[in-house]
Structure 1
């Protein structure tokens, strides 16, 4: 039985810094697993205990279990594990938690690493687990890690929507900025030059198709992609948006996973 060390996080400790040290210490590579129990988002001691109990059963593995108390996310290192071997253990861990803690509803993101990932990449992995709407184990790819080069301007007069989108997109690696109306957005685009504008059509000042038209007329090096995220479901409005150069159109309420895919398709 391994002598795994459990470091219970306190707010003052740099969770990602400690995790980076742990990964760097394994020269032959390691698998990195992030776990979030969606059924109990508070991140209880019971979950930490059960994960540690599972890890202690892994023969010859000096694994580390860390917890970020600010989000409830658990991180687990599996030194020397290939992706296939780590995926198998992730399935067993998921079954273990579901058997011991019926309300846990575990969400897992997994990657096999040969080099130490950046803090941003680890944050992306953690948020991929925390924001997941699927119980399937998510294999984190290099493509996802490379998304931090893309800028997205969020335009919506609803502060709650802006906050949700900002958190989800930023923690996936996108650089984000917010605008509360069309006039502010038109002022920000030439200065910040986003790769994509994610916008509502119902805006103060200037909105709808005139707003889309003004975006396309701005003097910028590279016109941004435009994804409409709106409550408007009228077929004529949707058709007119596509005729006027909009790259995609998503209606509210929306699936975050589907929106992720639409944005990824526009940017890559």
Structure 2
């Protein structure tokens, strides 16, 4: 599993570095870029996107796919923001008419502009598209790019789970640290002051509700939000966690995409 995750991380990073290099090549000319995501992931989506763009009158374009997030990146050299927005509207309409359950989510911006085309910003745009709950086309702004993704402490006694979560969350721009038990986690929270603690309830040493209570009693400037990621499915345990101030509760096995969305909501 760790080897597979590492390979996916390298492939994903290459996509955004390639995009960044391509955008530098177009400078100082304007270049529109849009990210497109469909939760249904219809098999013909990428092919249909290419067909629609190919039939645009004299449109220059390039399509790349991030296999990890299933997000399409579409470069539109020479287009202003208004022109790129118009193409996004046409693309969205034709996908809705010709691809069953497409329900596309689109985020776009133009370079050069208010945002620098770094790999981190481009990944942030892709994640914003994937996590969007609105069908409206979203214009990515300087203010969004300036947002800090935040610090997350991962607490789990399973090394494989810790590694997977660290790789996935780092790809989304979060700073991460990991702890294998409750005692070391409490020490890290005091020293590092994370914004969010993503924790299993079944831990060595202190665990469960006493661990949650200890987090909230630590002498830190800002008590971190808490998301429980656990194998415990007992309704009473879930209810008690929320009563003790837990922000969200996710059971294992879990959907990585759903967990991404839950964590994203905690920061917004």
- TM-score greater than 0.5 by the shorter chain: yes
> Equivalents in 2 of 1:256, 1:21: separation in Å?
27
Q: Is the 8 A contact 1:34 1:75 kept in 2?
A: yes
> Equivalents in 2 of 1:211, 1:13: separation in Å?
36
- 1:179-236 CA deviation, whole Å, 9 max, x = no partner? 343123124334544233233555442124532454356576x4552324366333x6
Deviation at 1:76, TM superposition (A): 0.8
Structure 2: runs of 5 or more not aligned: 1-10, 252-257
User: Hey, what does 1:94 align to over in structure 2?
Assistant: 92
The number of residue pairs the alignment matches comes to: 243
> Equivalents in 2 of 1:190, 1:214: separation in Å?
11
Deviation at 1:123, TM superposition (A): 1.4
> Equivalents in 2 of 1:226, 1:259: separation in Å?
10
> CA, structure 1 residues 54+26, in 2 after alignment: closer, same or farther (shift >3 Å)?
farther
Deviation at 1:89, TM superposition (A): 2.2
> CA, structure 1 residues 207+121, in 2 after alignment: closer, same or farther (shift >3 Å)?
same
> Equivalents in 1 of 2:66, 2:259: separation in Å?
26
User: Hey, what does 2:255 align to over in structure 1?
Assistant: none
Q: Is the 8 A contact 2:225 2:266 kept in 1?
A: no
Q: RMSD in angstroms over aligned alpha carbons? A: 3.8
> CA, structure 1 residues 34+160, in 2 after alignment: closer, same or farther (shift >3 Å)?
farther
Structure 1 position 117 matched with structure 2 position 125? no
> Equivalents in 1 of 2:259, 2:27: separation in Å?
38
Deviation at 1:37, TM superposition (A): 3.6
User: Hey, what does 2:170 align to over in structure 1?
Assistant: 170
* TM-score, length of structure 2 as denominator length: 0.69
Deviation at 1:122, TM superposition (A): 1.0
Deviation at 1:22, TM superposition (A): 2.1
Q: Structure 2 matches for 1:1-268, cutoff 5 A?
A: 14-24=14-24, 25-40=26-41, 46-69=44-67, 71-113=69-111, 114=113, 115-132=115-132, 135-148=135-148, 150-156=150-156, 166=166, 169-190=169-190, 192-215=192-215, 222-229=221-228, 232-234=237-239, 238-239=242-243, 241-242=244-245, 249-252=247-250, 257=261, 259-264=263-268
- 1:227-263 CA deviation, whole Å, 9 max, x = no partner? 24366333x6534x34xxxxx6223467754542232
Task: Describe the SS at the equivalent of 2:267.
Answer: helix
Q: Is the 8 A contact 1:124 1:171 kept in 2?
A: no
> Equivalents in 1 of 2:241, 2:215: separation in Å?
17
> CA, structure 1 residues 13+126, in 2 after alignment: closer, same or farther (shift >3 Å)?
closer
